[in-house]
Each structure stands twice: as C-alpha cells, then as structure tokens.
Amino acid sequence: MAYGKKRANTTNALFTLWGVLVFAFLFTPIAVIVVYSFNSGRVLAAWKGFGFNAYVNAINNDIIVSSVITSLQAAVGSALLATVLGTLGGIALARARRGAWWAAGLTGILALTLVTPEIVDGIAFLPWFVTLGVDAGIGPFNNGLVRLIVSHAMFSVAVVTFIIRARMAGIDRSLEEAAADLGASPWHAFKDITLPLAAPGVLAGGLMSFTLSLDNTILSSFVQQPGYTPWPVYIFSSVRVALRPEVAAMSTVMLVLTLVALGVVGLVLRKSGESSTAIIKTMAGS
Amino acid sequence: MRRFAAKILGPGALAFPTWAYAVFFFVVPVALVLFYSFGYKPDEFTTVATDRLSLERYAESMTGSFLATFAATLRISVLGTILCLLISVPFAYWLAVKVPANRRGVLLAIVMVPFWTNFLVRTLGWQIILSPDGFLSDGLQQLGLLSGPLNILYTRAAVQIGVVYNYLPLMILPLFVAMDSAGQALREASYDLGAGRLSTFFRITMPLAMPGVASGCLLVFIPLTGDYVTATVLGGANGSMIGQIIANQFNTAQNWALGAAMAVVLILVTLAVVAVAAAVLWLGRLITARLTRVQLEGI
C-alpha cells in the first residue's frame, strides 16, 4: 500500500513537471517579445541595452499606428457582424426540428468554412471582391475596411454559431413557451427571454471573432487595399526587411490591452453566476 | 394566418441571414475558385480566362517542385499534429484530472493567453530565441554545450518547433474539454473494481476523450497544412510550404487558373489525409472492441 502510494506520488510529480514544462514552452516566446520590446537598439533580435525608445518610436510611427487602428476597426466590425449573424444562426439551429433541411445545410456549410484552409478563403475572396466591386460596380466592396470586415466575419460566423448553438442546446425551451403562453409576442419572447439566456455565448462568440480577426494574416494579405493594411500584414511584410523593436513594443501594448479586455469579460461572466471553468470554456468556444 | 406567420418566423427564417451570408461569401467564391481551376491564363496581363475549360492546369501543377513542397508540407503538418497530440494528452489529463478543481479555471485561462496573443508575434519570439547570435545560442556556447553558434533558425526543425508551438493550444483545449466533462465517476468505478491506473487511463479516459482527440487533430492539421506564415518567419528559404506556392500564383505570377487548381489539389489532399486518419482510427477501435469482447467472453 505504502509502495503504491509512493508510486502514485511519483507519477503525480511527473505530471506536474510536464505541466510546468508545457507552460514554460507556451510562454517563453511571449516573455521574449515583452523583454525585447525594451531593447534600445535598432534591430529587434540584437540586444543593445534597456530603454523605452521602441515605445516612443512605435507611437510616433504613422504606419504602425494606422495599421493597428485598421486592425482594431476591422476586428470590431467583423466581431459585430459575425456576432449578429452567428447568434441568429445558433439560436435557429438549437431550435430546429430534427432533420430540418436548412439546419443540416447550414451546419454543413459552416463546418466547411471551419475546415477550409485560410489560403483557400484568401484566393476565393480576392477574385470575388474584384467581381463585386469592380465588375458589378458595388462600391463598398472596393473599400479596404469593408473587405476586411466581410472576409473576417465569414470565418467567425461559424465559430459564433456553434458557440451559441451549444449554449442554447443546454437550455430548456419551456421558458420561451411559458413567455408565449403568458401572452408575450414572439419578438418580446426573443428579446426578453432568449437573448438574455444566450448572452454569455454571445459575449464569448464576439470575443472569439474579435481575436480571430486581430490574428488574421493570410486572408487579410489577399483582400487588403492600399491604405488599409492591418497590423499582422504589416508585421509580416517587415519580417522580410528588418524587424525593429517597435513591433515588439506595439505587440506588448496590445497584449496588455487584450488581457485587460479578457479580464473584464471574465468578470462580467462571473457576475452572471458562471463557474470559472465554465467561463473559460465559454470564452474558448467549447 | 397565425400559423403561416409562425412558419415564416420560425427557426428557419431566423437562420436566413446566416445562410445567405455563408452562401454569398463562402459557397459562391469557393465555387468560383473551382471554376477558375478549369480555365487558363490567356496572356501576360489577364489573370484568368474560362471560355475554354480543361483539366490542363491540374496537369501543369504536378511539377517536381510542387510535389516536393507538397510532400514537405505534409511531413511537417502530420508530424506537427502528432507532436501536438503527444504533448497535449498528458497535459490535458493533468489539467482535467490531477489539478484541484478550484485551480483548474485559472490554469486553463493561462493556457489560453498565448492563443489570444498575435500568432505572428509569438513566432517572432521564436525567431529571437533560435537566432544564431541570440541569447540562447550565446548561453549554450558559454556553458560549453555548443561549439559554434546555434544553427537551427531557417531550417525545417525551426519550422517544426514553430508550428507545434502555434497550434498547441488548439489541441489542448478540445482534449481538456473531453477529459473534463465526463469520466470522473467512471474512473472511480474503474479503480473500485480493481483496475490499475494505466488500465483505467487506456480503457476509460482515452476512449471517452476520443471526440476531443478527433476535433483537436482536425483543428491543428487543417490550418497547419495551409499555413505558410510560420514557415516563412522561421524557415526562410527552407520554409517554403504549399500555401506559399499557391499565394505566389495569385500575388506574383498572376496566374489565377493555376493557383486555383493548386488550391483544389490542396483541399482534396487535406481531406484525403483526414479520411485516411479517420479510417485508421475506426479500424483500430473495431479491433480493440473485438479483442476486449473476446477477453470478456473467455472469462
């Protein structure tokens, strides 16, 4: 018995060691970027000394600032669009009768968008936007920001829809039926009962689409227009030339902002009475 | 009338905007790519023409360098998926089973932080770490573990590290969810019935986690196969992936027909690999199920 317990302790220690190693693996590059954002040299990878020059230079670099602004605008826009479409789709799917053709079709198409490599989305959107904007003369599709928002929302819609569907599937339908029995119109039942129930999923989905959009490089590089270069595309293009510490500085600022935003969302979800594991799972979209 | 309204305002109608969006901005443009792949590039200044349809672009894409890059890409993505799985299974098990429940949420949130940091920036972090005149290289040389500068950046090994790193959270998460949501009671029952730790792990925990394994592998393998950003940053000239070749057809060569054909080949091969993996898994399950049944009958 004592021997068995000792062996169990050893395996537990090995598991904990593995956990610590994986965490170290996950965080080393991020820590390196944060540290090197204080590099006072001209080249990111060559450490010359500690300083805040990179931060000052980043803020004063118009190209960097405008690309970050473009990215944020695209992220907010596509998150809103994807959240509205995904919420409607997710609620509809959760309420669909078994075997409804439109539900099966929608699930299939959205699943396909999730498994399509990003490069394929990119080369599909490029000619399509040219067709819509130039050939068909639909002006908005020539606008760089519209292109980014529409294309980014395309792959977030599936994520939001599936998050909302999972959320709504676990919720008893009788609440909405009770509202209808008590005389609420379909619109009121939707607004006062269904939407609040879906709210944590909506928040999680919106957050997911926001980060997916901020991260997007390949698709963006295909649909971007002059004057609307998003942040990751800017970084990717400067990788080929020479990386300066400004990139690390701006990334550190964005990391801090993301963490603050995540913390706020976590607090909001906690107030709505979710357990912490459930919150993370919702935010991670599972 | 009321019934008619209910039908129109039913869940199907609610889904209409999502439907319309997915068709207009996914199905149609991707179908267009398929259509272009049968076309050709008529002259230097036109990207694609489709008045004459043929399979010639597919034949044209099958050059030696395309196939070699494709093979190298698949090697990296298959190996990357397997490595992610091997790293994640013990980690997710530790997180879902060993860590006390009250600390699980915090640790899971920490796992997600890299996921919420720009993946290109994280890749740049690796570029600094692996650089031949970086701190790791200097440190290893001072310790005498390395005789010359670290020679790993701009090789396939660096690309492999980078992709495993970038896609790891996408494997951990579904595995964690699958191991967390079910099984504690079954695991305890298994122990009570006298099964050992290993036996419980392989006969209770892993079978229950199979849906997580499947979705994790899909989430890692498919985007990884199409990714070329990680490979460009860490592999340099040695990091050319199939996605880069397709992108070049659209950006540099301006040959949409050929690029489209290559993209269709990419999709088909990706799906074929997934199908083969699924078939192998299914066969494996069938065989283990049969073996355990025989064993039970023997008792």
Q: What is the ipTM of this complex?
A: 0.85
Is residue A37 domain-resident?
no
> Is there a single domain that holds both residue A136 and residue A209?
yes
Nearest beta carbon to residue A92 from set B12, B108, B117? B12
Regions of chain A where pLDDT drops below 70: 1-5, 272-286
- What total number of domains does chain B contain? 2
Q: How far is B91 from chain A (nearest CA, A)?
A: 6
> Is there a single domain that holds both residue B26 and residue B141?
no
CB A117 within 8 A of CB B225: yes
> Is there a single domain that holds both residue A7 and residue A124?
no
Residue that the structure tokens 């305890």 belong to: B188
pLDDT of residue A265: 75
Nearest beta carbon to residue B32 from set A127, A218, A277? A127
CB B128 within 8 A of CB B134: yes
pLDDT of residue A279: 57
Give the count of beta carbons closer than 10 Å to the beta carbon of residue B211: 15
**B119, A215: Cβ pair inside 8 Å?**
yes
CB A209 within 8 A of CB A153: yes
Is residue B62 domain-resident?
yes
Instruction: Write the burial class of residue B5 (CB in 10 Å: 0-12 exposed, 13-18 middle, 19+ buried).
Output: exposed
Average pLDDT score over residue span B206-219: 86
Per the structure, the complete domain to which residue B98 belongs is given by 58-267
> Is there a single domain that holds both residue B99 and residue B11?
no
> Is there a single domain that holds both residue B67 and residue B190?
yes
> Is there a single domain that holds both residue A175 and residue A237?
yes
> Is there a single domain that holds both residue A22 and residue A110?
no
- CATH code of the domain containing B79: 1.10.3720.10
Is residue A43 domain-resident?
no
CB B170 within 8 A of CB B219: yes
> Is there a single domain that holds both residue A20 and residue A160?
no
Closest Cα in chain A to B13: A92
Residues of chain B with C-beta less than 8 angstroms from the C-beta of A284: 108, 112, 115, 173
Residues of chain A with C-beta less than 8 angstroms from the C-beta of B199: none
> Is there a single domain that holds both residue A136 and residue A18?
no
The share of chain A scoring above pLDDT 70, in percent, equals 93
> Is there a single domain that holds both residue A138 and residue A258?
yes
Residues of chain B with C-beta less than 8 angstroms from the C-beta of A98: none
Is residue B283 domain-resident?
no
Sign of CA dihedral A188, A194, A197, A201: negative
> Is there a single domain that holds both residue A89 and residue A197?
yes
DSSP helix, strand, coil percent of chain B (3-state; round to 5): 80, 0, 20
Nearest beta carbon to residue B94 from set A18, A262, A275? A18
> Is there a single domain that holds both residue A144 and residue A279?
yes
CB A120 within 8 A of CB B30: yes
> Is there a single domain that holds both residue B111 and residue B7?
no
**A39 beta partners:** A50
Residues of chain B with C-beta less than 8 angstroms from the C-beta of A95: 11, 14
Pairs of CB atoms within 8 A across A/B: 275
Is residue B72 domain-resident?
yes
Tokens matching residue A70 = 């473009």
Is residue B288 domain-resident?
no
Least confident of B19-33, B49-63, B182-196: B182-196
**B170/B175 Cα distance (integer angstroms):** 9
pLDDT tens-digit readout, A111-164: 888 888 889 999 999 989 988 988 888 888 888 899 999 999 998 999 899 888
Per the structure, the complete domain to which residue A18 belongs is given by 1-26
Residues of chain A with C-beta less than 8 angstroms from the C-beta of B108: 277, 280-281, 284
